Amino acid sequence: MDQVKINLPCGFETTYGKLRNCEKVVRCMMCEEEDLNIDSVLKLPANQVRLKEKQIELELVKLEKLENEIQTIGKDPHFHVEKSYEQIFNQMDLRREKLKIEFEKKLDEYLQLRSEYEEKKKLNIKKLEQNLNQNYVKIDVLPKKHGNFSNIQEKIDTLETDLKRISQKTDYLSKVIVLSKIGENQELLLVSEYINIKEMFGEIHASDMRFDYKLQVVLGGQFNSQKIQCIQNVDENTLLFGLDENIKLWHIDNRKCLKTFTGHSKRVVSLCMLETNRFASCSLDKLIKIWNIKSGESVKTLLDHNQSVLCLKYLSNGQLASCSTDKTIKIWNYESGKCIRTLTGHEKSVNLIELGPKNTIISSSLDKTIKIWNLETGENLKTLKGHLNEVYFLKTMYSTRLISGSYDNTIKYWDLESGQCIQSFLGFSGIPGPMAMLKNGHLITCCEEGTIKIWDLDLKECLKVLKIFEPIDILFLTKDEEIILTTKSSQMIILSL
């Protein structure tokens, strides 16, 4: 792509590679007489044709390579799958052998310990025999008959002497007997009866190289302990963050705040890009605000929800949708600020909305249901039931499929046409955590300890495991499918391929 010729307004040509990493507006590198708006230059029809032709050329090369690979696999599918498992089976066998060696070493240490106690036993036998052969063992200490005593005190003293001799021998014999039973005082104490085979052997983690994400940026102290509530992509280099009741425009590469938008009185929980350099925000203060990015000013405030507004979606017809804890979904003409339609039917707070196929919108609620609505009529077309707790994630895929995540610790895969659940993904030790969907249909999930997993939903296979080692609050995908994470310690982590 970098070698594609690009026409400049001044009549000269340059290459796509020279423009790709430029700022948005630069001085023309050829004539040096006028400023170039890079986006406008690339959108010129002649340049669009050249770029699209090059993209097709590259995709055809890729397609040919894949078709050749498919033909090769088709000749012996069994062989290729078997070969793909060779590495993990070899690793398991090697680990087993290593554990056997380590275990045998531990057994050798045990045998050494036993030898030490064998020596102690021999010494105690020898000591016992010596004590048994002592004359003191054979001394007769039984009281003897005495003649008449001149007085009672003399008799008492004699008896005291006899008692002392008997007690001394009793103590000595007791010690000798204890020596004969000294082995009974030894006990093998176990720290735990449980042997953790998984900990010893290891776990199998998927590592598909297509998802070889690397840590690129970590932002921490820049947020002054404020907690990021929501994220919205503006362009390749800038993001909008909802930080408590404020909104900040950030330049990722420079790690600088470009602008702060103030106007909400409570936490901002959702952001949505609109057309013509504007975006919308909603807050727990019941308001929806429309902002001009360049000026930083609020140009319109939408008032009709009577409780907190939780989510916003920009519709393909140019309208705006919102949902609220007041149990409603509203469709807005954000230019005029008027509510066009209110959708009612949920029994509790509506916490999420997602664009559906064929002019529909999908919502989820604290009432544990998912509803599909006709945007034109406001009719509730279907209600999807199956989750046992609040649904906190919705994402459509393949136009007729829906993924939902719930606080019932499950992820469900739905057919939107029938309204039936195709598959439930169980086995999460806790709430699955924030999720996102890649363009190719692969699902990204997070869990509390900071593990990220990438899933093939059709194969029901985990393709990749990434470790962050910190609890994750928000998972967001940029337009280029970089992964942006925010953590409970108010850090922001960016992962790139």
399 and 260 in a single domain? The answer is yes
Measured CA to CA, the distance from residue 242 to residue 430 in angstroms comes to 27
CB 439 within 8 A of CB 481: yes
270 and 280 in a single domain? The answer is no
Is residue 392 assigned to a domain? Answer: yes
Count of domains in the chain? 4
**Secondary-structure breakdown of the chain: helix, strand, coil percentages, each rounded to the nearest 5:** 30, 35, 35
Q: What is the CATH number of the domain that holds 288?
A: 2.40.10
**pLDDT above 80: residue 248:** yes
Q: Which two tokens stand for residue 344?
A: 């009612």
Residue 465 phi, psi (nearest 5): -125, 125
**pLDDT above 60: residue 428:** no
Is residue 194 assigned to a domain? Answer: no
Is residue 116 assigned to a domain? Answer: yes
Is residue 418 assigned to a domain? Answer: yes
Measured CA to CA, the distance from residue 285 to residue 232 in angstroms comes to 20
Q: Which two tokens stand for residue 111?
A: 């045998």
151 and 172 in a single domain? The answer is yes
Q: What is the CATH number of the domain that holds 261?
A: 2.130.10.10
CB 375 within 8 A of CB 388: no
Is residue 195 assigned to a domain? Answer: no
Is residue 189 assigned to a domain? Answer: no
**Residue that finishes a domain, picked among 83, 103, 121:** 83
**pLDDT above 90: residue 27:** no
User: Given its phi and psi angles, is residue 477 left (phi above 0), alpha (psi -120 to 50 degrees) or beta?
Assistant: beta
Whole-number pLDDT of residue 196: 67
371 and 474 in a single domain? The answer is yes
Name the band, by pLDDT with cuts 50, 70 and 90, for residue 250: confident
Measured CA to CA, the distance from residue 118 to residue 281 in angstroms comes to 79
CB atoms within 10 A of CB 173: 14
355 and 429 in a single domain? The answer is yes
Is residue 203 assigned to a domain? Answer: no
258 and 362 in a single domain? The answer is yes
Average pLDDT, the chain: 84
Name the band, by pLDDT with cuts 50, 70 and 90, for residue 266: very high
pLDDT higher at 240 or 223: 240
267 and 281 in a single domain? The answer is no
Residue 331 phi, psi (nearest 5): -110, 130
Q: Which residues neighbour 409 within 8 Å (Cβ) at sequence distance 6 or greater?
A: 426, 428, 430, 431, 432
Domain range spanning residue 178?
A: 86-182
Name the band, by pLDDT with cuts 50, 70 and 90, for residue 297: very high
Among 121-125, 163-167, 335-339, 447-451, the range scoring the smallest mean pLDDT is 447-451
- pLDDT digits over 70-81, tens only? 888 888 888 888
Is residue 490 assigned to a domain? Answer: yes
Measured CA to CA, the distance from residue 363 to residue 352 in angstroms comes to 6
71 and 40 in a single domain? The answer is yes
Q: Which two tokens stand for residue 478?
A: 């940029």
Say what angle helices 77-84 and 45-75 make with each other, to 10 degrees: 100
**Residue that finishes a domain, picked among 55, 83, 111:** 83
364 and 426 in a single domain? The answer is yes
Q: Which two tokens stand for residue 337?
A: 């600020």
Count Cβ atoms within 10 A of the Cβ of residue 382 and give its class: 0-12 exposed, 13-18 middle, 19 or more buried. Answer: middle
One-character DSSP codes across 390-419: -EEEEEEETTTEEEEEETTS-EEEEETTTT
Percent of the chain past pLDDT 70, that is, above it, reads: 90
Percent of the chain past pLDDT 90, that is, above it, reads: 26
**pLDDT above 80: residue 404:** yes
pLDDT higher at 149 or 108: 108
Measured CA to CA, the distance from residue 382 to residue 384 in angstroms comes to 6
374 and 257 in a single domain? The answer is yes
Task: Report if pTM > 0.85.
Answer: no
- pLDDT digits over 177-234, tens only? 887 888 887 777 766 666 666 667 776 666 667 777 777 767 665 566 677 888 898 8
254 and 309 in a single domain? The answer is no
Amino acid at 298: S
Measured CA to CA, the distance from residue 381 to residue 383 in angstroms comes to 7
Q: Which two tokens stand for residue 271?
A: 């952001």
Name the band, by pLDDT with cuts 50, 70 and 90, for residue 261: very high
Residue 135 phi, psi (nearest 5): -60, -30
**Residue that finishes a domain, picked among 182, 202, 233:** 182
Measured CA to CA, the distance from residue 354 to residue 363 in angstroms comes to 6
280 and 268 in a single domain? The answer is no
CB 273 within 8 A of CB 233: yes
CA-CA-CA-CA dihedral for 120, 126, 132, 134, to nearest 10? -120
3-state secondary structure of 241: strand
**E strand or H helix that includes residue 259:** strand 256-261
One-character DSSP codes across 337-402: TEEEEEEE--SS-EEEEEEETTTEEEEEETTS-EEEEETTT--EEEEE---SS-EEEEEEETTTEE
Count Cβ atoms within 10 A of the Cβ of residue 305 and give its class: 0-12 exposed, 13-18 middle, 19 or more buried. Answer: buried
Whole-number pLDDT of residue 351: 92
Nearest-Å Rg of the Cα atoms of the chain is 39
Measured CA to CA, the distance from residue 324 to residue 334 in angstroms comes to 17
Name the band, by pLDDT with cuts 50, 70 and 90, for residue 141: low
